[in-house]
Chains A and B, each alone.
Chain A
Amino acid sequence: MSGILGKKIGMTSLYDEKGKNIPCTVIEAGPCVVTQIRTKEKDGYEAVQLAYDDKKEKRTTKALKGHFEKAGTTPKRYIAEFTRFEDKKEFGDIVTVEVFSEGEYVDVSGISKGKGFQGVVKRHGFAGVNDATHGQHNRMRAPGSIGASSYPSRVFKGMRMAGRTGGKKVKVLNLQVLKVIPEKNLLVVKGSVPGPNNSYVKIERWS
């Protein structure tokens, strides 16, 4: 597996060779620094920790400052671990967008847009009550029954109801890489990516 951290820049559309309009997302990916290597002996698992996007030194805690100094780099804002990293990376190495090439398929994960407290129609895709007539009123988007009566006399755990929606980690699988622009650290993938513009995303390629 190979991967990188990045920032969602925004969406646009391109045309393929058949003239079809392709929606795509522009991601600024890397350069990332390897800030830690997790090993089986020391940590119990194998992983590579990458860090991305500079932040001000005065906004960094002393503990983190030391962590970045060890890797010989400036304080970074976004840190994430990658398991089963295929290309051997050394402590302090730099990972650039060139690990990807056009036509490959990648997985992108990020924090989805927060939608606040939402009803079951938006949150779980319930159909609501389809009739506005036949005696219905004020229940067009109601959840309907949430269980039987005297038996079990309770609502089962995990019953899908209204509540906070979005703002969770979401991973989108198999997005095709349309373009790689190494001079500007840009990666263009087909389709959409979770989260608002300027949010951090983790890009992985499993091969």
Chain B
Amino acid sequence: MGKKELIKLVEDSVEVKQFPAFKAGDTITVTYKIKEGNKERLQKFQGVVLQRAGSGPTATFTIRKISGNIGVERIFPVSSPFIEDITVNKVGVVRRARIFYFRKLRGKKARIKEKRM
């Protein structure tokens, strides 16, 4: 048995949830659980996906939004138990798998062409 299979065997216990497919440039909303003391509530984070990184249960994705003129980025592990739901709001047309150039864009330039469904 190879190294990769052995690591996979360990990762097997991590549950990978099924979410709709999304890629860099898409606008998505992540609904995640947030704990305050003993209470649990849901919070939404809507933004543009900058990248999807990694594979299997350890994969992550980065989303960015502008909150009050300040850019906010969050990295979520795909298999995080705190993620409740992911919905795809817009499918963007970008030429790259990782759109880090998007961070420097402001105002009218910070627009991504939307794919018509």
Residues of A within 8 A of B (CB): 9-10, 12-15, 19, 21, 24, 26, 28, 179, 181, 184, 186, 188, 197-198
Query: Which residues on A sit within 8 Å (CB–CB) of B79?
Result: 15
> In the complex the two chains form, is A13's CB within 8 Å of B58's CB?
yes
Query: Which of B8-16, B87-95, B106-114 lies at the interface?
Result: B8-16
- A83–B79 Cα distance when bound, in Å, is 43
Closest to B15 in A: A15
> In the complex the two chains form, is A184's CB within 8 Å of B6's CB?
yes
> In the complex the two chains form, is A19's CB within 8 Å of B9's CB?
no
- A10–B5 Cα distance when bound, in Å, is 11
- A197–B7 Cα distance when bound, in Å, is 12
Tell me if B80 counts as interface (CB < 8 A to partner A): yes
Within 8 A of A (CB), among B10-30: 10-11, 13-14
Q: CB within 8 A of B10: which of A19, A21, A181, A198?
A: A181
Among B6, B14, B80, chain A packs the most CB atoms within 10 A around the CB of: B6
In the assembled complex, the CB of B24 is this many whole angstroms from the nearest CB of chain A, namely: 23
In the assembled complex, the CB of A183 is this many whole angstroms from the nearest CB of chain B, namely: 9
- A198–B9 Cα distance when bound, in Å, is 17
Q: CB within 8 A of A26: which of B6, B14, B58, B82?
A: B6
Asked, given contacts A14-B10, A184-B9, A188-B10, whether A19 binds B3 with beta carbons under 8 Å apart, the answer is no
Query: Which residues on B sit within 8 Å (CB–CB) of A10?
Result: 3, 7
> In the complex the two chains form, is A14's CB within 8 Å of B13's CB?
yes
Q: CB within 8 A of A186: which of B9, B14, B81, B82?
A: B9
- A119–B3 Cα distance when bound, in Å, is 34
In the assembled complex, the CB of A25 is this many whole angstroms from the nearest CB of chain B, namely: 10
In the assembled complex, the CB of B14 is this many whole angstroms from the nearest CB of chain A, namely: 6
